A and B are shown apart, each in its own frame.
Chain A
Amino acid sequence: MVERRILSSAFSHLILILGVILVAFPIWITFVAASHDAVRMTQVPLPLLPGGHFFDNLYDALIRGVGNAREQSVGMMLFNSLVMALMIAIGKICISLLSAFAIVYFKFPFRMTFFWLIFITLMLPVEVRILPTFAVVANLGMLNNYFGLTVPLIASATATFMFRQVFLTVPDELLEAARIDGAGPLRFFKDILLPVSRTNIAALFVILFIYGWNQYLWPLLITTDKDMYTIVMGIKQMLEAAEESPEWHLIMMTTLLAMLPPVAVVISMQKIFIKGLTETEK
């Protein structure tokens, strides 16, 4: 910056540091809590520095299992969440890519009607249509399996709308050149459209993966079998341990583990994610 006065520089640093503390402190507490044993976590004051039980807790969470009777494995929950998040993200992307392709590139009767039909489902998230959706899923026998967990969440107006906008920025000449080159619609979709919107797909994948990972209400309704629990609802269940006091050290360990996959996805796809949101050249 041009302005180099010490006072204003110090002030802006102060604000930034406060911001970082605000964001990072809860995560630090989580980490600290995950590294102490059960006894220490019941004493006041709560520790602010890490203890020596981190790996014991990790072993408990992943191998021995958590919950009243040590019947729940965090590993299993992580796996369930991963499958659910991936199915939702990939399913959403596939469906909305295809529907956006149809809406942008094909002329059929009531094209705009269909577009608006898709669009107004934005106003009907799962929370609003939860009863009928549950009834349908139950009648189809999809309780307690991955399809029940994901299918109702897959149809996505947001993603369809976004891909529509992306496709609209692709110059018409590209389609015409491909037509003259002899590419049919699906060939054009596969060879030209998908590669051209690659970065947008990646950006959307990041957003949708986190959306899927953070699902709480729907898995809570759909799963009664402990083997199908996802990690987000798993944490909540652990808090409600009936007679005992909650095992904070294990809960925090689980929380820490639950944070890792989204973080990994964001970090590994960060570059392409930013490109997808900012790049305009087609």
Chain B
Amino acid sequence: MADVTLTKLVKNYDNTPVIHGIDAQFPAGEFVVIVGPSGCGKSTVLRMVAGLEEISEGQVLIGSQVMNDVEPKDRKIAMVFQNYALYPHMTVFNNMAYGLKIRKHSKEEIARRVNEAAEMLQLEKLLDRKPRQLSGGQRQRVAMGRALVRKPEVFLFDEPLSNLDAKLRHQMRVELKRLHKQLGTTMIYVTHDQVEAMTLADRIMILNAGRIEQIGTPDQIYHEPVSTFVGGFIGSPPMNFLSAAVDNTQLNFADYSITLQNRTPSTPEVTVGIRPEKIAITPTPHPHSIPVRIDFVEKLGSGKLLYTNLGDEPLVISIMNGMELENGEYHISLPEEDLHFFDKDSGQRLTT
């Protein structure tokens, strides 16, 4: 176990910066998920930690040691790749043993470690197979086994579940989480899937265009997004955004307005964010309710998603089962305590 520190980490490709100075510290034993849209530089950050990508400026520290000029093999890390990167001509056993063989461990030691990892990942019966004889999930487990036998200080995962189908992905997610509990090793995990980020992470680091947007626990990120970007990225369906003007305690949307009791944003023009599940909907009007017309209902089994518009801005409402709903006229209310206020131009969170 070791902590990982990134200080002013910068990456330039041909003088074009793609990572603009990242400062972060991940304590030993933490499960950190780096998440962001494609092209935000999350894999680049991971590869700089791994030593596969040169560091243009700044430092990567693992433990207390600066790793900038240390070869990947000496960084005490292990990495799992998106396409598994198993050696196609080697058996599962040899795939896992290869790194240990190079490090000249004894035969008994290699066999012991590989068998131990195989047991942990339920690969015992597959040790003599070649990668092409395995299913996607099994290959993924072999790739993890190859990382496990190394007994690294830090595990690095580069979108390891992206090539699996939804069911298997869920199953592997659970296994990963269990593995982390069991080993207690620092893990850095890159994904574009916000569900994986929310379920796996102790802490999430959200990247946007090479900059840190927010670092925090899944709860913090979900309940207190620092910007419209974070609110829109985390959560499925994402947060609704409505533009509004502030007039004393009145919050004026395009056609409606509500009165704020306790909170007043500091700027006159704001973007109001609200999570789909926080919107209350009733068939009959009540004080402060806003009439809406439901255009379209999406049934998820455990609940429903209702699609409507407020003014000309789209609005998604998520409800549990139990309420019979059809397309038509309804009334919604936006609870004040669940509203998030963001600056209209910068998208940054406003204090109220």
**Docked CA distance A169–B87 (Å):** 14
Contacts A181-B98, A183-B102 given; indicate if A171 touches B85 (C-beta within 8 A).
yes
Among A30-38, A78-86, A187-195, A209-217, the stretch that binds chain B is A187-195
Instruction: Tell me if A281 and B89 are in contact (CB < 8 A).
Output: no
A-side contacts of B229, CB under 8 Å: none
A-side contacts of B71, CB under 8 Å: 179
Interface membership of chain B positions 70-104, coded 1 if the CB is closer than 8 angstroms to chain A and 0 otherwise: 01110001110111111111100000001100110
Consensus secondary structure, chain A interface: helix
Contact of A173 among B81, B103, B146 (CB under 8 A): B81
Whether B205 sits at the interface, judged by CB under 8 Å, is: no
- Among B78, B82, B89, B146, max chain A CB count under 10 A is at B89
Whether B223 sits at the interface, judged by CB under 8 Å, is: no
Question: How many A residues face the partner with a CB closer than 8 A?
Answer: 19
**Docked CA distance A182–B73 (Å):** 5
A-side contacts of B87, CB under 8 Å: 174, 177-178, 191-192, 195-196
**Docked CA distance A178–B99 (Å):** 8
Instruction: Tell me if B89 and A180 are in contact (CB < 8 A).
Output: no
**Docked CA distance A179–B132 (Å):** 22
B-side contacts of A281, CB under 8 Å: 88, 132
- In A260-282, which residues have CB < 8 Å from any B CB? 281-282
Whether A56 sits at the interface, judged by CB under 8 Å, is: no
Expressed in whole angstroms, the minimum distance between the Cβ of B291 and any Cβ of chain A is 55
Contact of B77 among A177, A180, A192, A198 (CB under 8 A): A180
A-side contacts of B226, CB under 8 Å: none
Chain A residue, CB-CB nearest to B75 = A180
Consensus secondary structure, chain B interface: loop
**Docked CA distance A177–B98 (Å):** 10
Chain B residue, CB-CB nearest to A195 = B89
Contacts A181-B73, A182-B73, A281-B132 given; indicate if A176 touches B85 (C-beta within 8 A).
yes
Instruction: Tell me if B102 and A176 are in contact (CB < 8 A).
Output: no
Instruction: Tell me if A196 and B85 are in contact (CB < 8 A).
Output: no
Expressed in whole angstroms, the minimum distance between the Cβ of B99 and any Cβ of chain A is 4
B-side contacts of A179, CB under 8 Å: 51-52, 71-73
Contact of B52 among A176, A195, A198 (CB under 8 A): A176
Expressed in whole angstroms, the minimum distance between the Cβ of A209 and any Cβ of chain B is 24
Whether B242 sits at the interface, judged by CB under 8 Å, is: no
Chain A residue, CB-CB nearest to B156 = A180
A-side contacts of B150, CB under 8 Å: 181
Instruction: Tell me if B81 and A176 are in contact (CB < 8 A).
Output: yes
Whether B50 sits at the interface, judged by CB under 8 Å, is: yes
Chain B residue, CB-CB nearest to A281 = B132
B-side contacts of A187, CB under 8 Å: 102
Expressed in whole angstroms, the minimum distance between the Cβ of B228 and any Cβ of chain A is 35
**Docked CA distance A176–B49 (Å):** 13
**Docked CA distance A187–B78 (Å):** 19
**Docked CA distance A179–B82 (Å):** 16
B-side contacts of A177, CB under 8 Å: 79, 81, 85-87, 146
**Docked CA distance A206–B88 (Å):** 24
Contacts A176-B52, A281-B132 given; indicate if A181 touches B85 (C-beta within 8 A).
no
Contact of B50 among A180, A192, A282 (CB under 8 A): A180
Expressed in whole angstroms, the minimum distance between the Cβ of B121 and any Cβ of chain A is 17
B-side contacts of A196, CB under 8 Å: 87-89
Interface membership of chain A positions 160-187, coded 1 if the CB is closer than 8 angstroms to chain B and 0 otherwise: 0000000000010110111111110001
**Docked CA distance A198–B87 (Å):** 13
B-side contacts of A171, CB under 8 Å: 83, 85
B-side contacts of A180, CB under 8 Å: 50, 52, 72-73, 77-79, 99
Expressed in whole angstroms, the minimum distance between the Cβ of A39 and any Cβ of chain B is 59
Interface membership of chain B positions 97-115, coded 1 if the CB is closer than 8 angstroms to chain A and 0 otherwise: 0110011000000000000
**Docked CA distance A184–B78 (Å):** 16
**Docked CA distance A207–B83 (Å):** 34
A-side contacts of B51, CB under 8 Å: 179
Chain A residue, CB-CB nearest to B103 = A182
Expressed in whole angstroms, the minimum distance between the Cβ of A181 and any Cβ of chain B is 4
Instruction: Tell me if A174 and B85 are in contact (CB < 8 A).
Output: yes
**Docked CA distance A195–B88 (Å):** 9
Chain B residue, CB-CB nearest to A177 = B85
**Docked CA distance A73–B82 (Å):** 62
**Docked CA distance A181–B100 (Å):** 8
Expressed in whole angstroms, the minimum distance between the Cβ of A183 and any Cβ of chain B is 6
**Docked CA distance A173–B84 (Å):** 8
- In A197-239, which residues have CB < 8 Å from any B CB? 198
List, sorted by A's number, 6 A–B pairs whose CB atoms are closer than 8 Å.
A176-B85, A180-B78, A180-B79, A181-B146, A183-B102, A191-B98
- Beyond the given A177-B87, A178-B98, A181-B146, could you list 8 further A-B residue pairs with CB under 8 A, ordered by the A residue number? A173-B83, A178-B87, A180-B52, A180-B72, A180-B99, A183-B102, A192-B87, A282-B88
Residues of B in contact with A (beta carbons under 8 Å apart): 50-52, 71-73, 77-79, 81-90, 98-99, 102-103, 132, 146, 150
Q: What 8 pairs between A and B have smallest CB-CB spacing?
A: A173-B85, A181-B99, A182-B73, A195-B89, A177-B85, A182-B102, A173-B81, A180-B72
